Amino acid sequence: MTKGKTWNGSAIYEIKAAGRLGEQWTDWFGGLWVECEGEMTLISGEIRDQAALHGLLAKIRDIGMPIVSVRRLDTDSDQHHVPGGSNL
């Protein structure tokens, strides 16, 4: 267990999947930010808990996109850009 970190509750996540999805998928992903970077799609925003994260990963799997990476971002730094967050 990492000392000083809380793993329950809301957090900002950045998920990278192989393939291209457009911004029109934002509603389907519960208001999360969806953008393409080359041949990858980046899905990011605030996710309310681990159960919601697993639900999101299942949605990505269900549309046939291989998940390349999942990253929990440090909310105390400026290492991310999430224009809208959703609290999925």
Residue 21: give its domain's CATH number.
Answer: 3.30.70.1150
Boundaries of domain holding 22: 11-73
pLDDT in tens, 16-65: 999 999 888 989 999 999 999 999 999 999 999 999 999 999 999 999 99
Residue with tokens 């950045």: 14
In a domain, 16, yes or no: yes
In a domain, 4, yes or no: no
pLDDT value at position 22? 84
pLDDT value at position 80? 46
In a domain, 54, yes or no: yes
Name the domain count of the chain.
Answer: 1
pLDDT value at position 23? 83
Report the C-alpha dihedral over residues 51, 57, 59, 60, rounded to 10 degrees: 170
- Cβ atoms of 34 and 41 closer than 8 Å: yes
pLDDT in tens, 52-63: 999 999 999 999
In a domain, 21, yes or no: yes
pLDDT band at 73, cuts 50/70/90? very high
Please choose, from the candidates 1, 7, 45, the residue with its C-alpha nearest in 3D space to the C-alpha of residue 23: 45
